[in-house]
Amino acid sequence: MKALALLSGGLGSTLAMRVMLEQDVDLAAVSFVTPFCHCSRGKGCGAEARRAADGMGEDLVVRDIGREFLECVKNPRHGYGRNLNPCIDCRILMHREARSLMAEVGASFVVTGEVLGQRPMSQHRAALRTIERESGLEGLVLRPLSARLLPPTVPEREGWVNRDRLLEISGRSRRRQMSLAALFDIADYPCPAGGCLLTDAAFCAKLADLMSHSGVEVEDIPWLKLGRHFRLSPRAKLVVGRNERENAALDATSKTGDLRFEPAEVMGPVGIGRGRFDAAGVATAAAIVARYCDAPAEGGVRISTRTLPHGPAESVDVTPMRIPEIDEFRIQQGRT
């Protein structure tokens, strides 16, 4: 029988596939990607799954579910974890997508790398049952790493896989998984503790701010990963680059109508303003950008501004804002 394996490229899902291959189960692998992944080591979301699939000689289907997942983030039916991570809704979405893909690849059941009790929100027994029920996959999700601690699934009852050769791992420790990785000669695996930005408090503060003021779309997510973020008013936000790479990335993720700030006479960062800026807002944004320029802290700085993409260049002379004043505008955990 053929199984569809949910492969993130992390250790758990890679081991689950290897355990199945040890039983000569025919596999198809799928990686579901979202803009909140930060576990790709600079190679792009889905790259780790492709590396893992290539290492096992298996084909991989990559499916972008970013827009559907963002709706889960905005309105999670099963709530959030510690930050803005809607883990149960995320797993239900992925399992539903997997169910739709099963017929396409000729799979009879689904394999995942989940471990009982490893993640407090989505991998306890009740959550696992909820995920199966609401995705329409009851009895068809095999979790090889914890299978002997869970009720037998259809593939076990039907003899498609040998339950006695499955595992009984539970809890948050990954020592057993690491031992298995050594046994299977799996090395250089990323993110053993997870790679979702929605568990990062600093990122979630920026996301929550945007959701509460102007709403958020998939195209906004790369912007949230960059720079220093400041809320100037309910209708105006500023992001300031921290280095040359971020300056270039801010330019690349800017939108028509954004206001671009840059020092006119000294070295310094790019700032991108989004929203509605009056004269006072422009002056405030320019003073913040000026603080991070290569200029004397007490001297005046000329900041060039223009509306993107091709608005006329203007300039404003400002005194760099002091850090305590800047902190009043900074978006950070606990403040929206």
Regarding whether 142 and 233 lie in a shared domain, the answer is no
Task: Lowest mean pLDDT of 99-103, 162-166, 273-277, 297-301, name the range.
Answer: 297-301
Spatial CA neighbour of 57 closest among 96, 87, 28, 88: 28
Please say which residue of 172, 197, 222 terminates a domain: 197
**At 272, is the secondary structure helix, strand, or coil?**
strand
195 pLDDT band (50/70/90 cuts)?
confident
What pLDDT is recorded for position 157? 98
Q: Are 224 and 206 within 8 A, CB to CB?
A: yes
Regarding whether 274 and 207 lie in a shared domain, the answer is yes
Average pLDDT over residues 121-127: 95
**At 72, is the secondary structure helix, strand, or coil?**
helix
Q: What is the CATH number of the domain that holds 170?
A: 3.40.50.620
Regarding whether 218 and 193 lie in a shared domain, the answer is no
Reading the block at residue 10, the tokens are 């992390």
- Which distant-in-sequence residues (6+ apart) come within 8 Å of 125 by Cβ? 116, 150
Regarding whether 187 and 86 lie in a shared domain, the answer is yes
Regarding whether 259 and 167 lie in a shared domain, the answer is no
For residue 272, CA distances in Å to 145, 156, 224, 275, 282 come to 47, 56, 12, 10, 11
Tell me whether residue 181 is in a domain.
Answer: yes
Looking at this protein, which amino acid is placed at residue 91? R
Give dist(CA 45, CA 39) in Å, integer: 7
191 pLDDT band (50/70/90 cuts)?
low
Tell me whether residue 335 is in a domain.
Answer: no
pLDDT above 90 coverage of the chain, percent = 88
What pLDDT is recorded for position 189? 78
Regarding whether 186 and 71 lie in a shared domain, the answer is yes
Tell me whether residue 38 is in a domain.
Answer: yes
Give dist(CA 286, CA 295) in Å, integer: 13
28-57 pLDDT tens trace: 999 999 999 876 555 556 888 999 999 999
Tell me whether residue 238 is in a domain.
Answer: yes
Q: Are 236 and 215 within 8 A, CB to CB?
A: no
What pLDDT is recorded for position 113? 96
Q: Are 225 and 253 within 8 A, CB to CB?
A: no
Tell me whether residue 275 is in a domain.
Answer: yes
Task: Lowest mean pLDDT of 36-40, 92-96, 205-209, 217-221, name the range.
Answer: 36-40
Q: Please return the burial class of 251, using the count of CB atoms within 10 Å of its CB with bins 0-12, 13-18 and 19+.
A: middle
Tell me whether residue 293 is in a domain.
Answer: yes
Query: Which helix (H) or strand (E) element contains residue 243?
Result: none
- DSSP secondary structure code for residue 218 in this structure: G
pLDDT above 70 coverage of the chain, percent = 95
What is the residue whose two structure tokens read 């003021």?
A: 213
Q: Are 292 and 322 within 8 A, CB to CB?
A: no
Regarding whether 172 and 187 lie in a shared domain, the answer is yes
What DSSP string runs through 113-169? ---BTTSTTTSSHHHHHHHHHHHT-TT-EE-TTTGGGSPPPHHHHTTSS-GGGS---
What pLDDT is recorded for position 336? 45
Regarding whether 206 and 189 lie in a shared domain, the answer is no
Please say which residue of 197, 231, 258 terminates a domain: 197
Provide the mean pLDDT of the chain.
Answer: 93
Domain membership of residue 268 as a residue range: 200-329
Regarding whether 272 and 127 lie in a shared domain, the answer is no
Give dist(CA 292, CA 242) in Å, integer: 8
Regarding whether 157 and 35 lie in a shared domain, the answer is yes
69-91 pLDDT tens trace: 999 999 999 999 999 999 999 99
Q: Are 29 and 20 within 8 A, CB to CB?
A: no
What pLDDT is recorded for position 190? 67
Tell me whether residue 78 is in a domain.
Answer: yes
Reading the block at residue 45, the tokens are 């979301």
pLDDT surpassing 90 at residue 286: yes
Give dist(CA 269, CA 261) in Å, integer: 8
Tell me whether residue 319 is in a domain.
Answer: yes
What pLDDT is recorded for position 39? 62
**At 260, is the secondary structure helix, strand, or coil?**
strand
The residue length of the chain stands at 336
Contacts 24+ apart (CB under 8 A), 200-205: 200/38, 200/83, 201/83, 201/333, 202/332, 202/333, 204/83, 204/84, 204/333, 205/331, 205/332, 205/333, 205/334, 205/335, 205/336
Please say which residue of 197, 220, 252 terminates a domain: 197
192 pLDDT band (50/70/90 cuts)?
low
Report how many domains make up the chain: 2
Regarding whether 130 and 188 lie in a shared domain, the answer is yes
Q: Are 15 and 186 within 8 A, CB to CB?
A: yes
Task: Lowest mean pLDDT of 162-166, 213-217, 303-307, name the range.
Answer: 213-217
Regarding whether 210 and 304 lie in a shared domain, the answer is yes
